[in-house]
Amino acid sequence: MKIIAVASNYSDHIAEMSTGTILCQTKPESPIFFLKGDAVHRLGYPFFYPDLSSQIEYETEIVVRIDRIGKYIDERFAHRYYSELTVGLDLTARDLQRQAKAAGKPWTAAKAFESSAVVGQFFPKEQFGDLTNLDFRLEIDGHCVQKGNTHDMLFSIDQLIAAASRIFPLRMGDLLYCGTPAGVGPIAIGQTLVGYVGNNKAFEMSVK
């Protein structure tokens, strides 16, 4: 199982991050993928703030789980390769990412550290109707801190699957993180994070 994530898939997030020059500052011509290793956080368990960073930030994203083997998938057939989705967090060590980018180095350590891929409970995609108009959000201690809708994605879920399959052979169980909208921010010890896709609560996680 691999975790494939995409950067710069919402225009508002590109603008939000442009002052830090972390990622590209304009719409990319094609999806920008990176891998998060085997960093899946175990659902139902707390997240323990790692010593490696003093600035862990949440990035709330739609996550789909691949359930068929495929490569070089045509976009029109991409919908056949997943039947469930959820919301998750691409936790990012922002201080490490900034340092790596400034030095022109890879930022794997900022993205693939232990438990940095929070994944909620999966739901059948059929229950959401139009997947190009799907709300999701993150609440911290009862307050909404980030929200998005898939209609704002620069590359749709099916476009991402098709593009990713031209780089990585997709296998059953692979996870695809579909990018984050504006509103990313820090987490802190003592907080409780709750993620929703549509009106469905997908995960609740404490930070320790």
pTM for this one? 0.94
Please say whether the beta carbons of 57 and 91 come within 8 A: yes
Question: What's the confidence (pLDDT) of residue 97?
Answer: 93
For residue 101, what are the CA distances in angstroms to 8, 48, 95, 180, 182? 15, 25, 10, 19, 20
Residue ranges making up the domain that contains 49: 1-205
Which residue's structure tokens are 């919402």? 10
What is the CATH number for 135?
3.90.850.10
Question: What's the confidence (pLDDT) of residue 21?
Answer: 47
Count the domains in the chain.
1
Distance CA 33, CA 35 (A): 7
What are 157's two structure tokens?
């879920």
Residues of the chain with pLDDT under 50: 20-22
Distance CA 128, CA 148 (A): 15
